[in-house]
Copies of this chain bind each other. A is one copy, B any other.
Amino acid sequence: MKQDALRSLLEEVAGGRKSVDSAVHALNKDNFADLGFAKVDLSRKRRNGYPEVIYGEGKTAQQIIGIIDAMREQTVNILCTRLSPEKFAAIQKEEPDAVYYQQARCAIVNRAVVPKTESYIAIVTAGTSDIPVAEEAAVTAEAYGNRIARVYDVGVAGIHRLFAKIDVIRRAKVVIVIAGMEGALASVVGGLIDKPLIAVPTRIGYGAHLHGITALLAMLNSCASGVTVVNIDNGFGAAYSASMINHL
């Protein structure tokens, strides 16, 4: 709570213009729903601009349903990521309005139309195999009200494919580049644009690729400036940051 607001509130209490109860409530306003196995954060939208997102891996279908129920009143477009088709099937029985995005392995519950931004986020992949990560980003970005442009399979082994699409990338307000292997696409795109670029390394590769570590390290050491990086396969995280930037 900001210091000015604190002083005002206390003055209201001192002057009898505010009850003790409502002051306690105000000082506690970051609230949550306590389900025992989870404490669902109900003030995240106010604090962070976006509601809590459900990370599906490692949670049971029942736990996910419980969390959705706690959020449903206050939140539309409840996003659940890393969700297997099997868990989704179980959830859908309780939440019939839920929609599943197969490639992205995400679901959206309590779906609502949100206004889209004028500006857009370009989502660029090096290869066909990177598309599931890209779709996780796409579903996230659209859930948060962003226009997006997909530019898939323009890796540097055939760099003319990138140049053929460079205009749509350059016109974006923020660019997400998704690549496995050596991740060189992030550096090449980074050298050609004047907008923030968020790089997502993927697990696509084998052997010395070390399940994505190589692409991650390469992107962190990009010779192009203006490149920031998220965890391996973290399409959600890239889209979340990109959405923040796109809404500025």
Contact = CB atoms under 8 A, between A and B. Distances in A.
A148 interface: no
Number of chain A interface residues as a range:
35 or more
A196 B152 contact: no
B220 A231 contact: yes
Contact of A208 (B23, B196, B231): B231
Interface string A214-227: 11111111111111
Interface centre among A59, A153, A167, A207 (most CB of B within 10 A): A207
B221 A182 contact: yes
A186 to B, nearest CB: 8
Interface of A: 2-3, 6-7, 10-11, 13-14, 16, 20, 23-24, 27-28, 30-32, 36-39, 41, 43-44, 47-50, 52-53, 55, 57-59, 63, 126-129, 131, 152-161, 164, 167, 173, 181-184, 187-188, 190-196, 198, 201, 203-234, 236-238, 240-241, 244-245, 248
